[in-house]
Amino acid sequence: MNNTHILKVGLAQIAPVWLDKVKTIEKIKSSIIDAAAKKCELLVFGEGLLPGYPFWLSLTNGAEFNSIVQKEIHAHYLRNAVQIEAGELNDICDLAKEHKIAIYLGVIERPKNRGGHSLYCSLVYINEEGTIASVHRKLQPTYEERLTWSSGDGNGLQVHSLKEFTVGGLNCWENWMPLPRAALYGQGENLHIAVWPGTLDNTKDITRFIARESRSVVISVSSLMSKQDFPKETPHLSKIIENAPEVLANGGSCIAGPDGEWILEPVINTEGILTASLDFNRVLEERQNFDPSGHYSRPDVTQLTVNRERQAVIKFKE
């Protein structure tokens, strides 16, 4: 599209090949090609899609200490997590560059700068030139997620220019955290990306709330997952599916405009690329009466300090 104020977006509401890094990457690549054929300029995937959300924790007594079941599933999860430094997203970056499409991708990251043996729920932004521009590690895993994911840092609280929009994103319940939202608003964010593991319950209220609060466009993208999506090779599969419902994640991907009204109402139980065209002028119109970091802010009274240093346990001085 030539109009700089119009952005064609795609919402990749798909299921992973659960805990299979290689096969899930192939599915992601197919989605990028599909979105490019639909002329999308931004494509968003759900939280932790690569290689999948840790559904087993709530189904197999994940809090049992020193359990061989939990250890073996966790080891399998580690083996299928992503090491970005090793180039494991290179094929995805190449496709982004080839098709000039920006991508937000939820991954389970196994970063070398934290020792290489712990997991982080990360939201990766790949720009239209195929460059990884930011990696946001989820600040606070939610409830049972803390049994497998580590707490992240503020390094990824960054925004990026995309045509006339300024885009930023958060993982799942981070979107309920007022200060991380404010950190993005203060950098000029006007297209907010909220990624989720799945289900309408997560997206149906907060998507419109953030849009209304920030006077921004908000895109929520969820994954899908059913009982039939667990691969037969999964460790302790019988224990996992014994208590699993038929549907673990039904989607609910949607888009709200800067007035809080739906551009794309939540879609459930449908796999594929959902699309919409966003008009930046709508942001400008709604900022006329409210701008949370501009004319309706009081920095002389309240300010936010953000530490964006990438955290590590060791620093070398040569």
DSSP assignment string, 31-69: HHHHHHHTT-SEEEE-TTTBT---GGGGTTTTT-TT-HH
**Cβ within 8 Å of residue 254, ≥6 positions away:** 203, 204, 207, 219, 220, 262, 264, 265, 266, 267
Biggest CA–CA distance in the chain, Å, is 59
CA 67/CA 85 separation, integer angstroms: 31
Contact 61, 71 (CB under 8 A): no
CA 240/CA 230 separation, integer angstroms: 9
Q: How many CB atoms lie within 10 A of CB 103?
A: 28
The DSSP element (H or E) to which 210 belongs, if any, is helix 206-214
Active site residues: 47, 138, 172
Which residue carries 């899908």 as its tokens? Answer: 224
DSSP assignment string, 228-284: GGS-TTSTTHHHHHHS--SEEEEEEEEEE-TTS-EEEEEEES--EEEEEEEETHHHH
User: Tokens in use for 124?
Assistant: 């990766």
